[in-house]
């Protein structure tokens, strides 16, 4: 599929968002700069005011832009939300404990989004996605199964990475700078395939972290990470 066809298949409001995001990334508009008015964007793209308003409204809700009554729309100061869980590589966590990290790649594939994944990513069903399944070890003991889905538009070179020398997190933090994240944690019994990779019994509880990261106004990655409950704990602090 060529770039022209891809652009034609992209909703116009998303093309306007991409144009503004590209301008910000290139430094055309820096933090605190005013962006073109909605009227100017209407004229430039030949679309309705409603379409432009949707693009600007979504970028405002994503904290990329900020509106000032009677003044205009500006590039917002970029904010990174602090959570109990710092977004960092499990390899760094293991090394910080003075231990040895290694990983084993179980699956790396190009696939298409299911209806559910499409909704979670804000993409149409059948949209291309990358999928990886990796087991992480600490001193030879499996401590995490990382099941990750990645938006190719945010990380186009994901499939060419050597995940024995770099973790998906490390690559994504460089390729798709973090804009924000959401997560949940729950205790679940592991399915048989996960239990086998973690070398535990299916009756043993796991701590399951589900994390969604955003970059450039898009969902960049959705990961489910399984940890043996008796070998792992989450910790964090506020200052």
Q: E strand or H helix at 130, and its extent?
A: strand 128-138
For the stretch 72-100, pLDDT in tens is: 899 887 543 333 445 678 888 888 888 89
- 15: CATH: 1.10.10.10
- 191: CATH: 3.40.1410.10
Whether 143 maps to a domain, the answer reads yes
Both 147 and 94 in one domain: the answer is: yes
pLDDT on residue 87 = 63
Whether 183 maps to a domain, the answer reads yes
Average pLDDT score, the chain? 86
pLDDT on residue 2 = 42
Whether 81 maps to a domain, the answer reads no
Pick the last residue of a domain from 45, 75, 105. Answer: 75
pLDDT on residue 84 = 40
What the block records as the tokens of 210 is 């589900």
Both 11 and 58 in one domain: the answer is: yes
Indicate if the pLDDT at residue 8 is higher than 60: no
Both 114 and 69 in one domain: the answer is: no
Pick the last residue of a domain from 29, 44, 75. Answer: 75
For the stretch 162-182, pLDDT in tens is: 999 999 999 999 999 888 888
Both 135 and 217 in one domain: the answer is: yes
Both 125 and 66 in one domain: the answer is: no
pLDDT on residue 45 = 93
Whether 136 maps to a domain, the answer reads yes
190-219: burial string, b at 16+ Cβ within 10 Å, e else: beeebbebbebeeeeebbbbebbbbbbbbb
Whether 235 maps to a domain, the answer reads no
Both 49 and 105 in one domain: the answer is: no
Both 10 and 98 in one domain: the answer is: no
Whether 80 maps to a domain, the answer reads no
Determine the structural domain holding residue 105 and report its residue range: 90-228
Domain count, the chain: 2
Whether 83 maps to a domain, the answer reads no
């Amino acid at each position: 599929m060529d770039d022209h066809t891809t652009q034609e298949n992209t909703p116009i409001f998303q093309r306007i968002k991409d144009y503004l995001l590209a301008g910000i990334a290139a430094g055309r508009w820096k933090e605190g700069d005013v962006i073109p008015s909605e009227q100017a964007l209407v004229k430039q793209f030949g679309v309705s005011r409603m379409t432009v308003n949707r693009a600007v409204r979504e970028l405002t809700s994503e904290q990329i832009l900020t509106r000032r009554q009677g003044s205009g729309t500006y590039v917002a100061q970029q904010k990174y939300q602090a959570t109990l869980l710092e977004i960092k590589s499990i390899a760094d966590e293991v090394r910080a404990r003075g231990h040895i990290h290694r990983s084993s790649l179980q699956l790396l594939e190009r696939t298409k989004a299911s209806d559910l994944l499409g909704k979670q990513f804000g993409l149409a069903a059948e949209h291309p996605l990358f999928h990886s399944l990796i087991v992480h070890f600490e001193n030879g003991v499996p401590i995490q199964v990382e099941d990750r889905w990645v938006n190719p538009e945010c990380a186009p070179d994901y499939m060419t990475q050597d995940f024995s020398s770099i973790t998906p997190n490390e690559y994504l933090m460089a390729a798709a700078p973090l804009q924000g994240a959401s997560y949940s944690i729950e205790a679940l019994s592991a399915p048989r395939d996960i239990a086998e990779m973690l070398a535990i019994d299916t009756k043993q509880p796991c701590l399951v972290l589900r994390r969604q990261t955003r970059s450039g106004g898009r969902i960049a990655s959705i990961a489910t990470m399984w940890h043996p409950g008796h070998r792992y704990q989450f910790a964090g602090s506020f200052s």
